[in-house]
């Protein structure tokens, strides 16, 4: 096998919301495979935080302020990147939000906001990069989906609806643009150790695990939370020529949760 198929040398990768967390980890992996990294975030202070973190890793990333729900702003950003860096070869739709509110207590405004960031924005960003990918004759789009693309759970109606829609957007981009040698796939993370999930993993005053931590570990055949490192290999694979005949697929990186019904009580 030619391992050069996994190389991203001379490729330009745009990671939305790539200042920290999962987006940063994926961008770091793409950079290690040779890609030039472009990222955006919604506020200047987040972009500056990201630039500092990339610099600490020795990665010469380009950072931009952009609201990915604003179609005009996204089109302007893509044009600017093409002028300053080059044509985007790889798009990682990572930016996302969640609002944990019971459905009957959730306002339609909050529901729309989650769908806007988690579903409309990937549509807007993909729409912005696809024409140049068609012209170039190749492109990779990776949508960060979720186990909630397959499962429901209390308090996440908007998130699950958006991520389920993102799974189908992934398949439709494949269906519509696969003939142009564009591959659109998804990564569905399981429960990942990030600063945002840290409170759910804190030890209780008596030394026991947080109840949610116990629940996740019991539901995961791997018997642990995932790490952002667990997402790096799948991201490089889906961004590289090694996955050129993989299209419309969601790769769940969940330690086996979706395969497991759980232990009998």
Q: Which residues are catalytic?
A: 159
Locus of tokens 């949508």: 143
Residue 66 near residue 40, CB atoms below 8 Å: yes
The SS3 call for residue 122 is helix
The SS3 call for residue 192 is strand
Cα(9)–Cα(175) distance, rounded to whole angstroms?
27
Cα(166)–Cα(149) distance, rounded to whole angstroms?
8
Short-list 178, 176, 28, CA closest to 92: 28
Short-list 114, 252, 140, CA closest to 187: 252
């Amino acid at each position: 096998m030619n391992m050069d198929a996994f190389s991203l040398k001379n490729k330009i990768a745009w990671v939305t919301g790539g200042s920290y967390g999962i987006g940063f980890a994926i961008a770091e992996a793409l950079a290690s495979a040779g890609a030039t990294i472009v990222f955006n975030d919604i506020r200047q202070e987040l972009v500056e935080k990201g630039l500092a973190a990339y610099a600490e890793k020795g990665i010469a990333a380009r950072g931009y302020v952009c609201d990915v729900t604003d179609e005009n702003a996204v089109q302007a950003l893509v044009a600017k990147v093409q002028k300053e860096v080059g044509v985007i070869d790889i798009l990682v739709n990572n930016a996302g939000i969640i609002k944990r509110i019971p459905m009957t207590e959730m306002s339609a405004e909050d529901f729309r906001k989650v769908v806007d960031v988690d579903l409309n924005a990937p549509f807007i960003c993909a729409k912005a990069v696809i024409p140049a990918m068609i012209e170039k004759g190749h492109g990779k789009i990776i949508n960060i989906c979720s186990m909630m693309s397959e499962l429901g759970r209390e308090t996440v109606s908007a998130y699950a609806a958006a991520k389920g829609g993102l799974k189908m957007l992934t398949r439709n981009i494949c269906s519509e643009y696969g003939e142009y040698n564009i591959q659109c796939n998804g990564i569905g993370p399981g429960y990942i150790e990030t600063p945002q999930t840290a409170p759910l993993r804190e030890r209780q005053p008596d030394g026991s695990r947080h109840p949610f931590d116990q629940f996740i570990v019991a539901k995961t055949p791997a018997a642990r939370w995932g790490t952002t490192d667990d997402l790096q290999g799948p991201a490089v694979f889906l961004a590289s020529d090694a996955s050129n005949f993989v299209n419309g697929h969601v790769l769940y990186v969940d330690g086996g949760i979706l395969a497991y019904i759980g232990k009998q009580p």
